[in-house]
């Protein structure tokens, strides 16, 4: 699985979760802080990435059909980077299983 962390998540997660997903990347690092969601979607689709986000907008199957890409929505509100990392690690088996499926969207 190649996660793409969106702008609502810290860029630090790429480094912290490298042991799980060494090919992870971040939207801001790849395309800048002002990259629109539609462009992120298109790039993730083209590159076969799994979007990791807290943004509920990607749940709209009409605007964002797929897969690809797949979307993992983290159901967290305000949380520190350490809390987000711990949450992802807590749900890593579920996320991995989802990434191997033909499903489009997962909320954890």
pTM of full prediction above 0.85: yes
User: What's the pLDDT at 77?
Assistant: 84
Is there a contact between 54 and 7 (Cβ–Cβ < 8 Å)? no
Q: Are 11 and 28 in contact (CB under 8 A)?
A: yes
pLDDT on residue 86: 98
Residue 32 has, within 13 A of its CA and on its CB side, a CA count of 4
pLDDT (tens digit per residue) in 28-87:
999 999 999 999 999 999 999 999 999 888 999 999 998 999 999 999 988 999 999 999
- At residue 71, the pLDDT reads 97
Domain count, the chain: 1
* Distance from the first to the final alpha carbon of the chain: 17
- For the chain, the residue count is 108
Q: Show the domain range for 98.
A: 3-107
């Amino acid at each position: 699985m190649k996660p793409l962390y969106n702008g609502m998540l810290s860029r630090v997660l790429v480094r912290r979760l490298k042991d799980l997903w060494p090919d992870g990347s971040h939207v801001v690092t790849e395309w800048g802080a002002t990259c629109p969601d539609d462009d992120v979607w298109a790039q993730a689709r083209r590159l076969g990435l799994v979007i990791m986000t807290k943004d509920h907008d990607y749940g709209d199957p009409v605007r964002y059909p797929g897969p690809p890409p797949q979307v993992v929505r983290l159901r967290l509100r305000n949380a520190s980077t350490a809390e987000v990392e711990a949450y992802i690690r807590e749900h890593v088996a579920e996320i991995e299983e989802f990434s191997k499926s033909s499903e489009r969207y997962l909320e954890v």
